[in-house]
Amino acid sequence: MLALLAQVRSGGRHLAPALDQALHGLEPREARAFVTDLAYGTLRHARLLEAALAPRLANPERLPERVRLALLAGAYERLVRGTPAHAAVHAWVELVKRGPTRQRRLAGLVNAVLRRLSPDDLPSPAGAQSLPPWLFTALARALGPEPAERAALGMLAPEPLWLSAADASAATARLRSEGAEVRPGPLPGSMRVRSPQPLGRLAAYREGLVQPQNPASLAVARACGDVTGVRVLDLCGGHGIKAAALAAAGARVTSVERDPAKLRAATANADRLGVHVDQLAWDLATPPPLAAAPVVLLDAPCSGTGTLRGHPEIALRLTPEAVARLAHLQGQLLRSALACLAPGGRLVYAVCALTADEGPEQVEALLARERDLRAEAPALPLEGTLAVGPGRYILPEDGLDGFYLAVLSRRA
């Protein structure tokens, strides 16, 4: 566990693949669920837990990373999961004792600190977002202080398993026959699922009836409108999750993506789902060599600040400079997207980010430059959305990812 946390916090790895590797072969299901919650929970609450531990440590920054992580994970168990000291402390002390010789003498410190922690050590609600202050300020500037606080707290909750399906009733029946609990999600075709087995072992998944997808991501694909028989360019297609939803809705989709490995993964996934998507490997710093299309989706690379629930490591690494670089790239990609939008066509711009630079300000700058574009109100049949500038935010509450979404139409 300490090695896993270290790989993510200081080693630059993403949590999801590192955790997959760590869980490989781990049984039973309860043990997998416990390790998963411990890893995500510790990283999501990292700043909050550091603040709770700080008064009890003379020089926390001088402690070896492994020992700091044992303290963080132990504090997560004690303060967030509410595990009593007699059940939560011993394992972390033992892990520290198994470390390099010069760390072993710190086992006593870990024992004493974790035993004495109490809920009173948790900082006030203002600190409860566990975000770096600059990032909370950025969210508050984009959303307003109160929605920013709700968003930050919403992203501390565990991530539900969301699936989407072209045929929700067939998928639900199949999932239930395999012992899964299925509840309808907030959009038609989306489901909130508790599965007794890892997703990859479910026949419903292997047979292509379901796709893991947050409802907010599905809502972005749906914002393209009625795409039956329509040619759609899916720019920055990534692993092709939105492309697959569009193809399943009857669109003729071409995904454009810089990374060939992602295109290969997208093809394998589309094959599993039984849908077809054309592909082009291309760096969208310049417009792709494709005929203009009536619908263009640009799901741009972004800070991912709407997805901290599933990617808590982002909050530990992101800098304001990185946000500024991403905003510059998004401006470039929007120019390429416009170059392939037909007259009378519709451009959907989306980012899973909650900073103003990447969302409303990006789109406002575009509208000021391009006089033949007009913002439409995006069709977003979700609760918890917020109109800001020319588009809308989907707030990351109730297990949804946070997105900014704008729908722009070009004069015919």
What residues make contact with ligand SAM under the rule CB under 6 A? Answer: 217, 236-242, 257-259, 262, 283-285, 299, 301
Dist CA 105 CA 97 (whole Å): 8
Q: Are 16 and 50 in contact (CB under 8 A)?
A: no
Which one, 114 or 270, has the nearer CB to ligand SAM? 270
Q: What angle do helix axes 85-97 and 65-75 make, rounded to 10 degrees?
A: 170
Q: Are 336 and 287 in contact (CB under 8 A)?
A: yes
Which one, 174 or 262, has the nearer CB to ligand SAM? 262
Largest Cα separation within the chain, whole Å, is 73
Which one, 36 or 217, has the nearer CB to ligand SAM? 217
CB of 218 to ligand SAM, least distance (A): 10
* φ, ψ (nearest 5 deg) of residue 250: 100, 5
Known catalytic residue: 340? Answer: no
Which one, 13 or 32, has the nearer CB to ligand SAM? 13
Structure tokens at 215: 């409802």
Task: Please list, residue by residue across 15-42, b when 16 or more beta carbons sit within 10 angstroms of its beta carbon and e when fewer do.
Answer: beebbeebbeeeeeeeeeeebbebbbbb
What is the number of other CB atoms lying within 10 angstroms of the CB of residue 153? Answer: 15
CB of 369 to ligand SAM, least distance (A): 20
CB of 164 to ligand SAM, least distance (A): 11
CB of 250 to ligand SAM, least distance (A): 18
The DSSP bridge pattern shows strands 161-164 and 190-194 to be antiparallel
- SS3 for 111? helix
Catalytically annotated residue among 224, 302, 340, 352: 352
CA 294-300-301 angle, to 5 degrees, is 160
CB of 104 to ligand SAM, least distance (A): 44
* φ, ψ (nearest 5 deg) of residue 181: -90, 130
**Bridge partners, residue 373, by sequence:** 410
CA 394-139-12 angle, to 5 degrees, is 95
Q: Are 152 and 136 in contact (CB under 8 A)?
A: yes
Helix ranges (DSSP H) in 255-410:
260-273, 313-317, 320-339, 360-369
Which one, 34 or 282, has the nearer CB to ligand SAM? 282
Give the residue closest to ligand SAM by C-beta. Answer: 238
Which one, 111 or 307, has the nearer CB to ligand SAM? 307
CB of 178 to ligand SAM, least distance (A): 25
Which one, 95 or 408, has the nearer CB to ligand SAM? 408
CB of 359 to ligand SAM, least distance (A): 13
Q: Are 169 and 177 in contact (CB under 8 A)?
A: no
Supply the residues annotated as catalytic: 352
